[in-house]
Each structure stands twice: as structure tokens, then as C-alpha cells.
């Protein structure tokens, strides 16, 4: 077992019972609330009914509360992975286990990956024991399939889920509609970035026309629109600003086009990727467009990322852009969020800003910050107990809570690790029973 994840046996017993206790008191920790209270030393959190009932340094503990001593430990909000296919993709190389790729003509903007979400995915357990408690599940474009179906500029609807054990996993369905610009947009639009922009504009213009002439459409007076009726219905939420358009885009020139489209159509936009977003930081800040970054990769993997740099998060934050991490730290690698955040601290972002970028910022970007993202009274109790600095690469959670319940800290990976680390048996590993 990793030394950093060990707790005393008494604490483990208490933790095992908290999933069923109505009231829990976690005492003695340094709490980074990522809220108005800031950082609290030797503080207490009271969890009641799955929510935070109280947090502070002079909190009265109910007599019937289950007490957990977290002295010397650190507590943060649960981590929020804003992009990826957690619960939609099991094995990247096995097509039958991947349900996130949009193809075909009938459902582009309206392609809804939520209907394929698997709450029993092994990837969920792997992610949440490293602190990820909430995730954005987002569709993506892909290559042509064997039947000749192709992806489109609009990839479909993304939603927010929690990774706990309660039956209703959806926090916000249809929170975003994903659009592809840059190289990916060019690929699915026939080989030109300009074509991708024209396709999106045509879809938005058609959605506006459909709204104005909906009664005629309902009577059967159907116009020659560029997208399906299902897509037109979905795009109404974008025009109403109830759903944001999340653009997969990296090149500064393409991001400038995103800014123009958001202003022209009065849309809420999100930049995902944003390798060159720092080059137009002031324009993004003025347009109130957040950026979901990859905080690790500063290499020019393609021509869209020629000007990628490790200090881009700091530049964007200084300009007033809301920054979250998640691009390229998603799905099977969602736990790398802390590495992105930690690297950013070494490159211009403050520690508090970096923690907010993997907790509160993505919750704000998706519009669920009234529910999660910080440790505040009334919010759902998504918490992580750490033995050491959570932004250090070798730090791992001691315990994770989702909606106030202490989740199992086992995954398929930990079970395999423990099984094959056994050395007190002469039998081959496949024949050893796990105690």
C-alpha cells in the first residue's frame, strides 16, 4: 500500500460507517474552502443529509455525529473533470466500449451521450479514488466508420455527472453543445477551417429561422434547413443561452472567430484546448469566455499549437479569464488534473488559483457552482482528505466523499496491485485469494 494513503485502523472503521451516518463531523484539518472563508486551520466540517451543514474553527458538533479525526490532514473540495468520456469509454482501442463519437446526419447538435452513460464503468472507480467527484461527459468527432458515416462540426450535447453511488447521476443534462474548429473542424467539414465556420453559422441561422417560423414547420411547411429538426430544437437552448457552445479549438486565429460568433449570436461560449488562447487573453476576458486548458503539454503537437506554453494559465488569469484544467487530462487520465494544476503553480498561477481551476472554476463554467465546487454551507459535500499537498505529483487522497458519502477507496487497479504484491504464497498470482 502507498504510505501516503494509510490511515489508522480506527479511522478506517469510522470512514466505512460514514456512508450511512446521517451526520458526520470531520475535525482538526486544514480546510481549503475555495470559498469566502478561504483557508481554515484546525477546522471542522459538519455533513448532514449529504450537504455541508457547517464549516469553521468554532463549530458546535452535534452529540450524535460520527466523528472523524483529520488532524494534520488537508481537505479540499472534490475535483471536477470538465471534459472527457468517463462512463462512456471503457477501453480506447475497443470500439464496442466507446459510445461518445458522433456520426451520421440525423443527430449532430442533438446527439446526446447521456443516454449511454454507464455508472458502473471501471473508469469511474479509478478516477474518484484520486479525488474526481464530478465530471463533464462530452461527445467527440471521429473518423468515418465502416458504414461510411462521418462526424460533423457539431458533435452533440454534453452533461455533468457525479461519480458517487446514489442512483441519480446527472447533475445537469445538456449543459453544453460541442463544436469543432481548428484542424478537427477542418477534417469534418471537408478540409477547410472556413467551411467549418460556415457550417456552424448556417446551423445557427437556420435555428433562428426555425424559431421564427415554427408554427409553419409544425403544419408541415418544412423549409430546406442545413440540419435536422432534432438539431434545430437542440440549438434553441444555445440561442436562449441555457446551454453553452463548447468549442474544441487551439489556434489563436480560430479562437478569435469563436469570440466573433459568440458576440454576433449572443451565445455563451467555452474554449476547450486553448493552446494559443493566451495570445488573445484580453479579448477572451472582455467577451467573458472561459478556457479549459491542458496545463502539462507545451509541445507543438500540430500546427494549431505552435505557440503553446506552460505559463498560459497564468497569463489568462492575469487578464481576467476564468481558467479550468481538463483538456488532455480526461477520461482515463482525469486524475492528472492535479498535475496540470501543480505545473501551473510553477509557471505563474498562484496555489489558490490552481486549486480553484480544478474545483470551483469548472463548476462555474457549467453553471453548477451553487451546488458544488467549494466548501460552503448548503452545498453538496464533495470533499477530499489528503495527507499532503494535493497539487504535488506524489500526493493521493486518504478518503473521498461524494454527496456526503465516504466512497470505497478500491478500484480494479488497486485490487490488482494488492493481489500481485502478495509475496507470502507459493502459488502463482492468478491462484492467490485476496484476503
| CATH topology match: 1-78+374-435 vs 79-372 | no
**CATH architecture type of domain 79-372:** Alpha-Beta Barrel (3.20)
Distance CA 105, CA 117 (A): 22
DSSP codes joined into one string, 166-220: SS--EEEEEEEEEEE-HHHHHHHTTS-HHHHHHHHHHHHHHHHHHHHTHHHHHTT
- Pick 1-78+374-435's CATH classification: 3.90.1150.10, 2.30.29.30, 3.30.750.24, 2.30.40.10: 2.30.40.10
> If residue 128 lies in a helix (H) or strand (E), which one and from where to where?
helix 122-128
pTM for this model (two decimals): 0.90
- Find out whether 149 and 104 touch, Cβ atoms under 8 Å: yes
Distance CA 97, CA 87 (A): 10
| pLDDT value of residue 167 | 85
| pLDDT value of residue 226 | 93
| pLDDT value of residue 148 | 86
The residues with which 51 forms a beta bridge, in sequence order, are 48, 380
Q: Which grid coordinates are listed for 268?
A: 455563451
- Find out whether 38 and 30 touch, Cβ atoms under 8 Å: no
- What pLDDT tens digit does each residue of the chain (435 aa) get? 443 433 433 344 344 444 445 799 999 999 999 999 999 999 999 999 999 999 999 999 999 999 999 999 999 999 999 999 999 999 888 888 899 999 988 899 999 999 999 999 999 999 999 999 999 999 999 988 888 889 999 999 999 999 999 889 999 999 999 999 999 999 999 999 999 999 999 999 999 999 999 877 666 666 789 999 999 999 999 999 999 999 999 999 999 999 999 999 999 999 999 999 999 999 999 999 999 998 888 888 899 999 999 999 999 999 999 999 998 888 999 989 999 999 999 999 999 999 999 999 999 999 999 999 999 999 999 999 999 999 998 999 999 999 999 999 998 888 888 777 777 777 777 776 654
- Find out whether 231 and 243 touch, Cβ atoms under 8 Å: no
Residue 401: helix, strand or coil by DSSP? Answer: strand
| pLDDT value of residue 221 | 65
Residue 52: helix, strand or coil by DSSP? Answer: strand
| pLDDT value of residue 229 | 93
| pLDDT value of residue 330 | 87
- Domain locations in the chain? 1-78+374-435, 79-372
The widest CA-to-CA distance across the chain, in whole angstroms, is 77
| pLDDT value of residue 3 | 39
| pLDDT value of residue 57 | 96
Amino acid at each position: 500500500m502507498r504510505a501516503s494513503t494509510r490511515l489508522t485502523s480506527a479511522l478506517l472503521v469510522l470512514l466505512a460507517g460514514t456512508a450511512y451516518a446521517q451526520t458526520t463531523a470531520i475535525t482538526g484539518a486544514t480546510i481549503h474552502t475555495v470559498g469566502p472563508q478561504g483557508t481554515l486551520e484546525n477546522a471542522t466540517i459538519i455533513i448532514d443529509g449529504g450537504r455541508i451543514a457547517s464549516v469553521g474553527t468554532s463549530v458546535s458538533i452535534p452529540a450524535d455525529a460520527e466523528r472523524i479525526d483529520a488532524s494534520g490532514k488537508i481537505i479540499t473540495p472534490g475535483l471536477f473533470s470538465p471534459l472527457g468520456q468517463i462512463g462512456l469509454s471503457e477501453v480506447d482501442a475497443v470500439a464496442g466500449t466507446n459510445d461518445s463519437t458522433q456520426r451520421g446526419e440525423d443527430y449532430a447538435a442533438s446527439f446526446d451521450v447521456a443516454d449511454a452513460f454507464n455508472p458502473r464503468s471501471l473508469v469511474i472507480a479509478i478516477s474518484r479514488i484520486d479525488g474526481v467527484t464530478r465530471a463533464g461527459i462530452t461527445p467527440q468527432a471521429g473518423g468515418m466508420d465502416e458504414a461510411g458515416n462521418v462526424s460533423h462540426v457539431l458533435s452533440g450535447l454534453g452533461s455533468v455527472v457525479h461519480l458517487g453511488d446514489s442512483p441519480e447521476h446527472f447533475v445537469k443534462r445538456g449543459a453544453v453543445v460541442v463544436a469543432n474548429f481548428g484542424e478537427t473542424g477542418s477534417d469534418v467539414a471537408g478540409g477547410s477551417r472556413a467551411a467549418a465556420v460556415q457550417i456552424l453559422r448556417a446551423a445557427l441561422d437556420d435555428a433562428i429561422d426555425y424559431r421564427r417560423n415554427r408554427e409553419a414547420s409544425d403544419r408541415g411547411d418544412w423549409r430546406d434547413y442545413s440540419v435536422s429538426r432534432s438539431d434545430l430544437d437542440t440549438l434553441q437552448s444555445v440561442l436562449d443561452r441555457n446551454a453553452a457552445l463548447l468549442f474544441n479549438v487551439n489556434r489563436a486565429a480560430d479562437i478569435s472567430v469563436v469570440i466573433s460568433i459568440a458576440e454576433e449570436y449572443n451565445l455563451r461560449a467555452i474554449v476547450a484546448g486553448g493552446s494559443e488562447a493566451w495570445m488573445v487573453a484580453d479579448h477572451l476576458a472582455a467577451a467573458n469566455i472561459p478556457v479549459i486548458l491542458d496545463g502539462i503539454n507545451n509541445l507543438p503537437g500540430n500546427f494549431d499549437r505552435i505557440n503553446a506554453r506552460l505559463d498560459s494559465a497564468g497569463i489568462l488569469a492575469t487578464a481576467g479569464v476564468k481558467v479550468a484544467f481538463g483538456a488532455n487530462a480526461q477520461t482515463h487520465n482525469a486524475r492528472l488534473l492535479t498535475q496540470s494544476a501543480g505545473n501551473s503553480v510553477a509557471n505563474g498561477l498562484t496555489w489558490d488559483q490552481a486549486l480553484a481551476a480544478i474545483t470551483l472554476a469548472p463548476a462555474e463554467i457549467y453553471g453548477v457552482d451553487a451546488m458544488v465546487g467549494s466548501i460552503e454551507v448548503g452545498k453538496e459535500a464533495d470533499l477530499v482528505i489528503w495527507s499532503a499537498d494535493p497539487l504535488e505529483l506524489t500526493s493521493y487522497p486518504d478518503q473521498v466523499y461524494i454527496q456526503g458519502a465516504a466512497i470505497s477507496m478500491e478500484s480494479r487497479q488497486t485490487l490488482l496491485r494488492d493481489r500481485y504484491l502478495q509475496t507470502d504464497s507459493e502459488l502463482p498470482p492468478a491462484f492467490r485469494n485476496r484476503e
